[in-house]
Amino acid sequence: MLSDPTSRCVTPWKMSLIKIFSAIYFTAVCAAQDPRNVTGVSPTIPPPSPAAIPTVYDAPVPVLEIQSIFLDVFPSEKVEFSCSIAGSSDWTFTWSRDRQEVQESDPNVSLFAEGSMLKLTAATQTYSGSYNCKGHHKTKNVTTAASNSLGLTVNAYTPKPTLSRTSNFNKMYPGESITFTCVVHGSSGWEYMWYHDGNLIQGKHSTYFIRSIDHSNSGQYHCKATRGKADFYTDKSPTTMLQVSDPPKPSLRLLTPWTNVFENETVGFSCDIDSSDWRITWYQDQEQVLEDYVLVLDMEDSLLNITEMTEEYQGIYACRAQLESRRVISEFSNTINISVYENLPKPTVTVTPGINPMYVGEIVNFTCNVDVASGWTYQWYKDGELLPQSSKTKSITLNLSAVGMYGCSATRGEVTSTEISEEIQQDVIEIPVPSLKATEHWLDVFPGESVQLSCLMDKESDWIYTWYKDGKMIQANNAIYLGLNGPTLTIKSASAAHAGRYTCKGDLKDRPVSSRFSSGCNLTVYDSNPTVTLNQDPDYKVMFFGESVSYSCHIDISSGWEYLWYKDEVELNISENKHMIASVGTANQGSYKCQARRGTNQSPFFATSRTKQLEVQENKPKPSITQQPDVDKVYVGESVSMNCKVQVSSGWEYMWYKDGTQVSTNSSRLSIDAAYLTNSGTYTCMARRNKNTFNTAVSDGRILRISEIPTPSIKLLTQWMDVFPTESVKLHCGMSDISEWTYIWNKDGQKVQASNAVSFDSDATTLSIQSASSFHRGKYSCSGKLKSRSVTSGLSSVLLLHVHGSKPRVTLIQEPGHDVMHTGDSVSFGCHINISTGWEYLWYKDDNQLVESGNNYTITSLLTKDSGSYKCQTKRGMSTVFYSDQSQTARLNVEERPKADIILMTGWSEAFSTDSLVLSCSVPESQFSWNWNYTWFKEDDIIDVPSSEKYTVTPQNDPDQSMYTCKGIRHGRPSYSKISEQFKTKNLLLKRRVLLSISGCIFFGIILVFLGCIILRVVRKPAEQEYKPEEAELFVRMDQIKGLDDEPCPLFQFITDAELNSSSKDNPAEGEENALADGETTPLPISSQDDLAETTESHGASENGGLVSFKQ
C-alpha cells in the first residue's frame, strides 16, 4: 500500500511530480465519462407484491454417522465422523464433544468439506465422549438443532494380543503339525500379521497352521493385529519359541566284552536314548527280533540278552526308538556285528629275543597268542608246573635257575579254555670280564703326544666296548678315536683333560648284556710339553774369529728319549746330547737347536729346544754413546748421564774419556748429578770382553753443552687492562722454546689455582678468567718448568690487572625529546658509555633486538607501528662476550597525523543559478582544530593563492575540470596534516547538466499529456444508445475492483513504478543532492484501492449529482 512507509516517496521533488500526474489523471477521467451514464438520483425501489411473501420452514436436523467403523478405539487410532443434511449443500457444520465445541486448532482434529467431515486422532482418553454436530446456513442466519449423538470410547492403552499354540513341547520333530492362535480380547474387526524371527510371513487370520514341520520352521514367532482404514496396529504379542530337532538317535552298546564269541557264551546289548518316553525295538540283520527262551528282552531297561550263543544268533544287531504318543520314529542306531566260532583254538608261544643260550641278567619275553577272538586269560608253565603269572606276555630276568621248558594255555569267561601250547627250551650262562692294557711302555705323556689303550674279551666278537674315565663314559670326538665297536681307544693329541683313571666294559651287540668293568689304568698328562734346554758356553751372541764354544741338550722328565741336532734346520750327524766347536770361523755362523724324540715311527712325539743364533764377525765392534736426557742443551743444576754400549754380543767392560783424558769408572754409565758450566766437553768410550782380552774400537765423541736457565715473558691477550665484573680476561706467558715448557702463575706472590672462574690451557701458557670479579684484581707473574725435566725458571715481570667494582652505565638520549610524535616525523636515539673502550652497541624495541649496530639509531619517517619502548646495551669481546646492563627506557608514542578533508559548499539548489563550485578544506580529526592554514593543490601542483580555508573553482581558473587536494599547516605540533583525498569537479558539473536536461524533458512531457487529453475530449463523439460496441476500457469498473482485491490499480502501479523506486534506492546521495533547498516534504494524497472503492460507493449512495469514476 502507498500509505506504508516502505513505499512512500522519499524525496520532495518526486512528490511534486506525483501531485501533478494525479491532477492530470483525475481530470482526464472526468472528461472521458459519458454524461448519459451519470445520474444524480437514487433509483426508486418498487413495493413488494403479495406473491413475494416467503414461506417459513423448520430448520432440518443433521445426521451424524461414523465413517471409521469403530467407536471403541485405542490410543493413536484414527476416527472419522460425517455430518450431513439431506438434499442441501448450503450448510457449514460445527462439532461438539460432551457439549463442548471441538476446536479445529487442536493438532489431533481435522475438519474437511466445510466442516461436514471430522477426523481426529484418539491420542488420549480425553477424546472419549459423546459427539454431535450442528448446521449453519451459508447465506441465511439459520442454525439447526444438534444431530444425533455417537459415543466414542478411547481405551487407556494400546492392545496387546495373546499368542497360544496347540503343542507346548519344548522340542518338535520333523513331520509333526502345530497351530498358533492370536487373539485381541475386548475388541473386534482385527486382521492379523504373523512374524517368524522378526520377518513378516503370509497369513491374515487369527490362526497360523504348519501342517508338516521341518527345520526351517525353527525360530521365534509372534503376531500383531491391525484394523481400520488408517492401519492402526496393536503392540506385538509375547514371543513363543519353536524348536525343531531331529529325533534322537539311539546308541547301541555291547554289555559283554566280545563281538567274536564261541558257542554257549553269553552276549548282552543295551539301547540308550535321552528320554524314557521312547519304546525300543530290536533288529538282527534288519529284521525285528522276537523274544524266545534264549533271546531275552528287557523293555523297561532297553536290554537284549542272548544267554547261550549259537550260529543261529550270529549277525548284525541294531535298535530303533518310537515315541508312540506322537507317532515319531527315530533312525537306526549304530550296529554291532556278532560272529560265532565253531572250534576252540590252540595257543602258540613265541620268545624274544630268539637266542639260546642267553647271559645272566638278560630279560627274555615269552608271548602266548590265540589267533582268533579276544578277551583271553593266559596261564604259564615251566617244566610242566603252573607259574603264578597269568598275563599274555611273561618277562623273565635270567639267572642260572631260569633254565627250563616253557609253555602256556588260554581261558575266556567261565566256559571256554584251550589246551597247553608247544614248549620252548631256554639256557643261561655267566657274562665274561674284559681286560685293559696300553700299547706303549709309558703312561705319562705330554700335551700333543698320542696314547692308545685296548679292551678285549676272551670269547665272541659281537661285543661293543664302552670306555670310562674317572667313572664317566667317554664319547669319541676330534681328540679321541674309538676303533670299530670300541676295542681300542686312541688319544691323537693328549691334553691335561685326558689325564685320569681309564676302565672299560663290554655290551653285547643287539642285546642288553653288559659286562663288569675291567681293571683300571692311570694316565698322566703333564700340563705342558717337556722343556728341552740348549746351553751355550760361553753364551755370547756374537763370536769373533778363534774363540771356542760348546752346546749341550738336556730334558729332565720321563724316559725313552733320543736326541737330534740341527744347524740352520739341517740335521747334523750327532747322536749325543753335546756338540763342541773348538775354533769358530765364518762357516760356524748360524742357528743351532736340538730335539728329543720318542714313540713309534707312525706317531712319534718330538720336543724341540729354542734356537740359539751364533754370529761370527771378523771386524772389531765400535761402541756408541747415548745421553739422558737426550737434548742438545743441558741447564745448570740438571743431572745428566751417558751410556756406552756395544750393539753386538755381550760380556763387555767399559772405559770413559773426557777431552782425551780417562775418567776413573769401569761402568757402562757415566753420571753427572748437578751440572756446571765446567762439565761441558767431548766424551768417548771403549769396551773390553770380560772373559778374555778382546778390545773394541773407540766410540765417536759426544759433545755436552751446559747453559743458564732463561726467564719467561708475560703479556695481555685481551685488548684492555681494565675489565668489569663477569667480563673475561686472558694472559699469556711464554719462552723462546714454547713447546718444551709448562708454566706456573702467581698473583700477588701466591700461586694461582684453577677454579670455576680461572682456567688454563694444556701447557698453562694462557690464563683465562671467565668471569672477572674484584677478587681477580692484582699483580700477575709467571714462571716456566720444562715438561720432561725438573728445571724451573725464575719469575717473569709483573702485569697489573684492574677490575672495576660494577658494570658500566649506559645512557640513552632521544632527539627530539617530544613525548608524542606524529607519522612522518624523524627521531634519533643516541647510546653513550663513558668508560673503557672496544664497545659494540645493541638496540631493542619492546624487548626485541633490532638490526642496528652503531651508537646512533635514527628513524627518518615515523609510522604508528614505531610506537614502543626503546633502549640500548653495549657488548665487547669475541669468544666470550661481555654485556653491559641495558640503558633506561625511552617511550616513543607515534600518533596518526591528522588528514585534511575537502567539502563542497555549493548546494544543489544553486545549480540553476551558478556555474562555480566553492570547496572548503578542514582538518576534522585533529584535537588541535584551530590555527590551521591551508595549502591547495591542483593535479598535485601547489595553487599560487593566499592560504585560505576555501577555494572557488570556475570555468576560468579550471577549464579542464581537474582533481583538487589540500593540506593543513600550523605553528606547533603537528605542524602539518596529511594531504586530503582527491576531489573531482568534472563529475559534479556533469551531474548538474544531466539534472537540468531531465527536468526540462519532464516539464514538456507533462504539457504534452495535458494537451492530448483536452483534444481527445473535444473530438470524441458519443455512440448511439441502441448500438454501442464494447470499448476497450482504459479504466477498471467498480465491480472489477471488488473482484480483484489483490491486484493494484493502474494509477497505483504507475505511481509506485519499480524504476522510480530503484532510482532512489540505488543513488540515495543523488536524491539528497537534488532535494529542495528548504528540506520540506509534502506527502501525496494517495489512498489504497479499498479506500477508493469505499469513497466511491458512499458518495454514490448519499449525494445527488456526485461524480462516479467507474462504470456501474
Beta pairing, strands 72-73 & 150-154: parallel
The pLDDT score that the predictor gives to residue 927 is 63
Condensed to tens digits (0 to 9), the pLDDT of residues 764-815 reads: 889 988 888 888 899 999 998 888 888 888 888 898 888 888 888 899 999 9
Q: How far is CA 92 from the centre of its chain?
A: 74
Taking the C-alpha atoms of residue 553 and residue 533, their distance in angstroms, rounded to an integer, is 6
Geometric angle at alpha carbon 612, from 610 and 616, rounded to 5°: 170
Going by their DSSP bridges, the two strands 963-969 and 933-938 should be labelled as antiparallel
- Grid coordinates in use for 325? 504318543
Average confidence (pLDDT) over 629-656: 87
Residue type, 44: T
Task: Give the pLDDT confidence score for residue 1094 in this predicted structure.
Answer: 37
Rounded to an integer, what distance in angstroms lies between the CA atom of residue 184 and that of residue 899? 91
What is the band of 929 on the pLDDT scale with cuts at 50, 70, 90? Answer: low
Say what the pLDDT of residue 486 is: 86
Q: What is the pLDDT of residue 223?
A: 95
Closest among 376, 385, 138 to 258, alpha carbons compared: 376
Q: How high is the pLDDT of residue 1076?
A: 30
Q: At what angle do helices 985-1019 and 12-32 cross, to 10 degrees?
A: 10
pLDDT, average across residues 720-747: 85
**Dihedral sign, CA of 323, 324, 328, 331?**
positive
Instruction: State the Cα–Cα distance between residues 180 and 238, nearest whole angstrom.
Output: 12
Q: With H, G, I as helix, E, B as strand and everything else as coil, classify residue 1043.
A: helix
Q: pLDDT tens digit string along 380-418?
A: 999 988 888 788 899 988 888 889 999 999 998 888 888
Grid coordinates representing 174 are: 520333523
- Cα distance between residue 624 and residue 627, in whole Å: 10
pLDDT of residue 873: 92
Strands 820-822 and 890-895, sheet pairing: parallel
Question: Quick one: pLDDT at residue 21?
Answer: 62
Is a pLDDT exceeding 50 seen at residue 43?
A: no
Helix (H, G, I), strand (E, B), or coil: what is residue 1071?
helix
Asked whether residue 238 carries a pLDDT value surpassing 60, the answer given is: yes
Query: Up-side HSE of residue 167: CA atoms within 13 Å toward CB?
Result: 19
C-alpha 951/C-alpha 920 separation (Å) is 6
Identify the pLDDT of residue 39: 35
Q: How many CB atoms lie within 10 A of CB 201?
A: 11
Among 54-63, 653-662, 1025-1034, the minimum mean pLDDT is found in: 1025-1034
Task: Output the pLDDT for position 723.
Answer: 86
Chain centroid offset of residue 472 CA: 61
For residue 695, is pLDDT > 90? Answer: no
Helix ranges (H only) for 1020-1035 are none
> Which helix (H) or strand (E) is 1089 found in, with range?
helix 1089-1102
Q: Are 80 and 66 in contact (CB under 8 A)?
A: yes
pLDDT at 356 over 60: yes
Cross-strand pairs, 598: 605
Evaluate whether 419 touches 450 at the Cβ level (below 8 Å): no
What single letter denotes the amino acid at residue 771?
S
Please give the sequence-ordered ranges of beta strands (E in DSSP) within 63-165, or none if there are none.
Answer: 63-66, 72-73, 77-84, 91-97, 100-101, 109-112, 117-122, 129-137, 150-154, 162-165
**Average pLDDT, stretch 311-336?**
89
Tell me, what's the pLDDT at 70? 87
Least confident range from 466-480, 498-512, 756-770, 1063-1077: namely 1063-1077
354, 519, 1072 from 401: Cα distances, Å: 19, 29, 149
Q: Are 931 and 971 in contact (CB under 8 A)?
A: yes
In this prediction, residue 948 carries a pLDDT of 84
- How far is the C-alpha of 161 from the C-alpha of 150, rounded, in Å? 27
Long-range contacts of 167-172 (CB under 8 A, 24+ apart): 169/326, 170/243, 171/243, 171/244, 171/245, 172/213, 172/242, 172/243, 172/244, 172/245
Pick from 542, 537, 549: which is nearest to 584 by CA? Answer: 549
Q: Over the range 781-815, which residues count as b (16 or more CB within 10 Å of their CB) and which as e?
A: bbbbbbeeeebebeebeebebebbeebeebebebe
pLDDT tens sequence across 524-552: 888 888 888 889 888 888 888 877 888 89
pLDDT at 87: 82
Quote the percentage of the chain above a pLDDT of 70: 84
Residue in this structure with the C-alpha cell 481530470, named with its chain if needed: 27
What length is written for the chain?
1112
Global pTM reads 0.34
Summary mean pLDDT of the chain? 81
pLDDT of residue 988: 56
Cell numbers standing for residue 339: 560272529
DSSP 1051: H
pLDDT for 4 equals 43
For every residue of 899-958, DSSP letters joined together read B-EEEE-S-GGGTTT---EEEEEE-TT-S--SS-EEEEEETTEE--S---SEEEE-TTT-
Give Cβ neighbours of residue 997 (< 8 Å, ≥ 6 apart). none
- Retrieve residue 286's grid coordinates: 534288519
C-beta atoms surrounding 131 within 10 Å: 24
97, 109 in Cβ contact below 8 A? Answer: no
Q: What is the mean pLDDT of residues 655-683?
A: 87
As a whole number, mean pLDDT of residues 1011-1024 equals: 75
The DSSP symbol for 593 reads E
**Secondary structure class of 497 (helix, strand, coil):** helix
pLDDT value at position 912?
56
How far apart are the C-alpha atoms of 823 and 892, rounded to whole Å?
Answer: 12
Report how far apart, in Å, the C-alpha atoms of 1049 and of each of 1, 17, 518, 1086 are. Answer: 11, 19, 146, 12
pLDDT, tens digit, 9 for 90 and up, residues 964-1002: 899 988 888 888 888 888 888 765 555 566 666 787 788
Its sign, for the CA torsion 580, 584, 588, 593, is: positive
Give residue-wise pLDDT tens across range 811-827. Answer: 999 999 888 898 888 99
Q: 1065 pLDDT exceeds 70?
A: no
Whether residue 390 contacts residue 381, with contact meaning beta carbons closer than 8 Å, is answered with no
- Measured CA to CA in angstroms, residue 188 lies from 191, 523, 779, 1051 at distances of 9, 117, 125, 68
pLDDT of residue 515: 87
Q: What is the DSSP letter of 105?
A: T
Q: Cell numbers for 416, please give them.
A: 571256554
Judge contact between 547 and 618, C-beta under 8 A: no
